[in-house]
Amino acid sequence: MSLPRIFVTLLFVAGVMACNHNDSSASGSGNNDPAPRDLVNRDIAAFKNNSALSTSITSYDQSNKGVFTKVFGGTSDSAILDYFNTRIHYFYTASELKKMTISPSRFRNSSWSSDDSPSDDSDSKSDVVVGASNIGMALWLMGLLDGVTVVINAEGKDLTVDSSRFGLMEIGPGYMLTEHTKSGRAFTIPAAYRQAILLHEARHSDCTGGISNADLAILRNTTSMKSMQANYKNKKCGHMHSICSGGDYAGLPGCDDIPWGAYAVQLVYLKAAYGSTSGLDNLIMRAGIIDTASRLQFDADDMFAGKFGDPDMSSSGLRQP
C-alpha cells in the first residue's frame, strides 16, 4: 500500500510561478542542481551565521513594530530554526513518498477534499508549480475525521502521526535552485526565496485554536472542496488556503482569507530578507513579495498595522465542544 494522493494537500501547499512550466527544466531542478533533499538541507543551513541576512532581518523588525519577532519568536538564526524545527521534521520528494506505506490505506471521510471543479487544467493555465506541501497536517486531520491513528512507514521506521505538528513535508517540483526562462536562459534562485517556502509550510503545522467535534462533523458531512470552502469556518487549524477570487491563481486554492496564515508568514520573511540580496536576486525577491502579497484576500496593510491583532503562533489539537 502506498501513500494515498489526496487533494486536501493543495490546501496546505506553497505554489510558485514558473517561468517555463511546460519545459522539463522547470519541473524541478536544473541540470546541475543538488538533489531536492540536499537543497532543503542546504537552505536550512543557510539560516545560520549569515551576517547579511541577520542585519536585514533585524533592520526590518525594528522598522516594522517587531513583526518578525512576533511571528518567529526573535530575529536570530536560532529563533528561525526553532520555529521551523518545531513544525517540520521530515521532508521527501513525491517519488520517495510513493515508496512509503501508510495505515490506513484509505480514508472514509475525504469527500470534503475532493476537487469538483471542471477539468480545465487550471494549474497549467496559471503556470503554477508546487513548491512544497505539508502532508503531515493533512494526514493528521484525515485521521481525526476517521477516528484512527495514522502510521507511516518511512525508511523502515514506523512514524505515528500524533499531532498537527507531525511535520511531514513533500518537496515539490517548484522547489529548485535553477530556473529557466522561455528562451532557455538559466538563472539561480536565491536561498531566501526558498527559505520562505519552508517557513510557509511550517505554518501549516499549526492548528491555531484547536479543532472541535463540531468542526469535524461539518467536514464529515461535506461532499466537495467547493462546499467545504463555503461552509467550513475553522481554517486556522492548519491555516488552510482558500480559493483565489481573481488574479493569476483564480479558481485555485492558493490564497488566504484569514490574517497571519502561511502566506503572511512567507511575506514577512521575504520582506525581512529582501535587504540581504542584490542584483538579480533582489529582483527575484521583489517578485516573490509581490506574488505572495497578491495571495492575501484582505488588506495586508491592516494586518501589519495590527488591526487584526498580533499573530497567534500557537497550536493545539481536539477541543470541546
> Is 248:17 a contact under the CB 8 Å cutoff?
yes
In-domain check, residue 2: no
Q: 151 forms bridges with which residues in the sheet?
A: 103, 160
In-domain check, residue 1: no
Q: How many domains does the chain have?
A: 1
> What's the pLDDT score for residue 122?
41
> What's the pLDDT score for residue 180?
85
β pairing state of 150-154 and 157-161: antiparallel
In-domain check, residue 320: no
DSSP type of residue 30: -
In-domain check, residue 233: yes
Distance (Å, whole) CA 30 – CA 24: 9
β pairing state of 211-212 and 318-319: parallel
Domain that holds residue 38: 7-310
> Is 151:101 a contact under the CB 8 Å cutoff?
no
In-domain check, residue 315: no
Q: Tell me the mean pLDDT per 10 residues along the chain, length 321.
A: 46 67 42 91 97 98 98 98 98 95 92 63 58 94 96 96 97 93 90 98 98 95 89 95 91 93 98 98 96 96 96 94 62
> What's the pLDDT score for residue 178?
94
> What's the pLDDT score for residue 111?
86
> What's the pLDDT score for residue 31?
62
Distance (Å, whole) CA 94 – CA 171: 7
In-domain check, residue 94: yes
With the CA atoms of 224, 149, 88 and 207 taken in that order, what torsion angle do they form, in degrees rounded to the nearest 10?
60
In-domain check, residue 93: yes
> What's the pLDDT score for residue 195?
98
In-domain check, residue 162: yes
